[in-house]
Structure 1
Amino acid sequence: MISYAARTALDLTADLPAPALEDLYRDLHRHPELSMREHRTAAALADRLRKAGYETTEGIGGTGVVGVLRNGNGPTVLLRADMDALPVAEETDLPYASETAGVMHACGHDMHVTWLVGAADALAMGRDTWSGTLLVVGQPAEETGEGAAAMLKDGLYQRFPRPDVLLGQHIAPGPAGLYAHSSGLLMSAATDINILVYGRGGHGSRPETTVDPVVTAAYIVTRLQTIISREIAARESAVLTVGRFEAGTRHNIIPSEARISLNLRTQSEQICERMIASIRRIAAGEAAAAGCPREPEVTVGNTFPVTVNDPETDGRITEVHAEVFGAQSIFNPGPVMGSEDFPNLAEGNLPYSYWFVTGTPAPIWEAAEGEDLMDRLAAVPSNHSPYFAPDLSTVESGVRAIVSAALAYLGY
């Protein structure tokens, strides 16, 4: 027999205003905003929450939005959506493509906000079916790892009810209509590292009078690739990506400095610390070999924690989703190398469940080459791609997923 949470969720979302929600999504997609600049997005979310009857506060942790709906005795459930876009130039050719040059919702946070609005509306209109408190959070700056921490620092759980459970979801590539749950480790930690290499600049015609930081930095980049292949055990999962290399101003000027920016993905604190130590050693060694006038500066930037679902919480949500969408729609992706700052909201070890909703449009998925799911996933646009464009059918399914998850705790 279907559970109360699943049955009620299906009832509350049976008549979703899909066209209006799709219009909201298109509007958000046209007007992406970078991290900590989500003013228009935050205002749109706050306006919708107020109209639905939520006590709404803006400006939490910068541009964060919090809506509270108190509905009798029961647990407090936090529903979260991130709001920021990326510095990516859109290439989808959609009629509602980004109108902001060089900025795009390439990670789908516009879909997340749309889901949150739809779920908040449905739960407010159906408040006679549940009891407890909803804490609806529009979070800024997930992409930079700043947003959740900023909201906590601004008194999120002192100014508003402290949640008993946290729930969140993310749009992902894959045939539209699947729900990926993993009990325990779901996503990796991420750490940004910056390296500043000091040289001695001069004229390109007289390299013998200089210490070329570009050559030194190039050796560092090459040597860094051996950390994974020669210093980390094969049984461990880790990724090192050099995402930026900057030096110089003109063709015939040897610069005085070179900058390297890299990103680590790890699944344990010990491996992360070992990799950082290796980066420091390699950078210092290559600089010494080149005769650089100063040791390089190696600094740790933004960090993201590992995402580890509470088994009991995620198990409960998985069961409800299997009832709502069918058992065949649920799969376990295992730990992935992507990262999230959502776990920072679990201050004090609060239990949470975080899952993925797949949204690749059917024509794109069917045209993807590959023999199995993983091959085809590699062939379709992923998050952060300039071609990333979720299917609009996921507007309704994503709202239904959040509502059913909330009712797993709030339902009578």
Structure 2
Amino acid sequence: MNDAHPQPPVERGPSGLKARARRVLAHLDAVLPDVDSLYGDLHEHPELSGHEARTAAALAKRLEAAGYTVSRDFGGHGVVGLLRNGDGPTVLLRGDMDALPVEERTGLPYASHVRTKDGEPVMHACGHDVHTACLAGTAALLARSRDAWRGTVMVVGQPAEETLQGARAMMDAGLYARFGTPDAVLGQHTAPLPVGAFMHREGVAMMGSASVRIRLFGRGAHGAQPELSVDPVVLGASVVLRLQTIVSREVPPLEPAVVTVGHFQAGSRANVIPDEALLEVTVRTADDAVQARVLAAIERIVKGEAAAAGAPKPPQVEVMASTPVNRNDPALLRRVRAAHAEWFGRDALVPGVLATASEDFPRFAQGPEHPVPTAYWFVGVTPPHAWNAAPGTTPQQKVTHLPGPHSPLYAPDRAGSLRKGCESLTVAALSCLHGGEAPRDH
């Protein structure tokens, strides 16, 4: 790594990467039993965002056993493991660890039955258990095969991705200041594609998002005397309807954007007009500038509707969490895609499409002095029988009929997902690290 911050070195010759990958992945069968054990344990014992203490401890224990220098509780329950192996690039491998407040309905023998103290169900409905297990597996493989690469591997177990807070917390805690700015950041995510399929997209891979909380103030009264009130329910309904015009009337038709009111809470009884109403809104855009325009429009509309209703005081509009668009570095993404094509075969790659879901992974691109190249791709986890039975002839048609992330029925193919996930992350890491046979210019 140096101040010029070059792109990771290019493999010399088409067979260089594949030969190194064979050397490293020769250990995969020895590593997989522990990867599988970790996955099963995490799936049965998921933890919500900000509560990943048990998950983090399990990852940290494995990294220490593999020879990594490990820091715990970094930016929350974050885990950072460093393995230095001679001169070469620093490559950050990231896996998120948190689960969702979803009640599992997969019927699997290792299904989660966890509930919080408040009775809220918890499930790994987004595949973060796969991410963490494969992260541990890749870390072990690289540690066992130090003759096949040179550089530094930085393993990051990230908490609180689902709330879009974990990556920011780790960066705010000084991740790069303490451990060094990486030359490349790699991340992968499960997807309802068939096991053994991989999807890459140059440029924007996932939309940016923001969560907005709106508190509207009215004046309560008896339901039989609405003339004495300023009804926040009616005000809220007006806000909901007017917000729908942002995308249709303020965002150019060729700019993807979504504004959804997912939470509307007001009142407690039919005959009582309440004092307040609470709305929560999610915003998705494929451009950070569009996100800023949409957020400004939300605030303008909410304040305007409140004034029109004669609200006794201005509303509160708060952005609770946000993340920029997940934009792949073109050169790094092409490197990773070429590595996957060489290892898995080009038939394993499916065309990339823009995901309307969001991630806080792009926070890792925000280096202290310059952007850090990032690459993010999707790994298929759908069991073969389920994929073959799904209606449709194209991947885009089939995935609409399959449980995807955040579904209570999301059930990755256990053996296939873990094997391919470890291979995928390992091959991508090797494509960015120097070869072990001799130092190369960097």
Alpha carbons 1:6, 1:321 under 8 Å: kept:
no
- Taking the TM superposition and a 5 Å limit, the aligned residue runs for 1:213-232 are 213-232=232-251
Q: Measure how far apart 1:11 and its partner are.
A: 3.5
Gap runs ≥5 in structure 2? 1-12, 116-120, 437-442
Separation of aligned partners in 1, 2:417 and 2:308: 55
Q: CA RMSD in A?
A: 1.6
Q: Does 1:154 align with 2:176?
A: no
- Taking the TM superposition and a 5 Å limit, the aligned residue runs for 1:235-246 are 235-246=254-265
Q: 1:165 aligns with which of 181, 184, 207?
A: 184
Q: Does 1:96 align with 2:96?
A: no
Q: Measure how far apart 1:157 and its partner are.
A: 1.6
Q: Measure how far apart 1:360 and its partner are.
A: 1.4
- Taking the TM superposition and a 5 Å limit, the aligned residue runs for 1:263-412 are 263-348=282-367, 349-392=371-414, 393-410=416-433, 411-412=435-436
Q: Measure how far apart 1:371 and its partner are.
A: 4.7
Alpha carbons 2:259, 2:282 under 8 Å: kept:
yes
Gap runs ≥5 in structure 1? none
Q: 2:273 aligns with which of 231, 249, 254?
A: 254
Q: What is residue 64 of structure 2 aligned with on the other side?
A: 50
Q: 1:145 aligns with which of 152, 155, 164?
A: 164
| CA shift in 2, pair 1:6/1:243, >3 Å | farther
Q: Does 1:86 align with 2:100?
A: yes
Separation of aligned partners in 2, 1:394 and 1:269: 33
Alpha carbons 2:104, 2:113 under 8 Å: kept:
no
Separation of aligned partners in 2, 1:116 and 1:186: 21
Deviations 1:42-70 (A, max 9, x none): 00000000111111110110110011111
Q: Does 1:24 align with 2:46?
A: no
Q: 1:39 aligns with which of 48, 53, 61?
A: 53
Q: Which amino acid aligns with 1:386?
A: P
Q: Measure how far apart 1:334 and its partner are.
A: 3.1
DSSP-derived class of the 2:185 partner: strand
Alpha carbons 2:79, 2:157 under 8 Å: kept:
yes
Separation of aligned partners in 2, 1:212 and 1:124: 63
Q: What is residue 77 of structure 1 aligned with on the other side?
A: 91
Please report the TM-score for the alignment, with normalisation by the length of structure 1.
0.96
Q: Which amino acid aligns with 2:236?
A: A
Separation of aligned partners in 2, 1:107 and 1:10: 30
Separation of aligned partners in 2, 1:157 and 1:233: 37
Q: Measure how far apart 1:12 and its partner are.
A: 2.2
Q: Measure how far apart 1:364 and its partner are.
A: 2.2
Between the two proteins, what is the percent identity of the paired residues?
50
Q: Which amino acid aligns with 2:72?
A: E
Q: What is residue 10 of structure 2 aligned with on the other side?
A: none
Separation of aligned partners in 2, 1:301 and 1:379: 32
Separation of aligned partners in 2, 1:116 and 1:277: 39
Alpha carbons 1:3, 1:320 under 8 Å: kept:
no
Q: What is residue 4 of structure 1 aligned with on the other side?
A: 16
Alpha carbons 1:194, 1:300 under 8 Å: kept:
yes
Q: What is residue 80 of structure 2 aligned with on the other side?
A: 66
Alpha carbons 2:195, 2:420 under 8 Å: kept:
no
Q: Measure how far apart 1:346 and its partner are.
A: 1.9
Deviations 1:159-213 (A, max 9, x none): 2132111111111111221111112221111011111111111222322222221
Deviating more after overlay: 284-293 vs 168-177: 284-293
Deviating more after overlay: 312-321 vs 227-236: 227-236
Separation of aligned partners in 2, 1:156 and 1:281: 36
Separation of aligned partners in 1, 2:154 and 2:15: 23
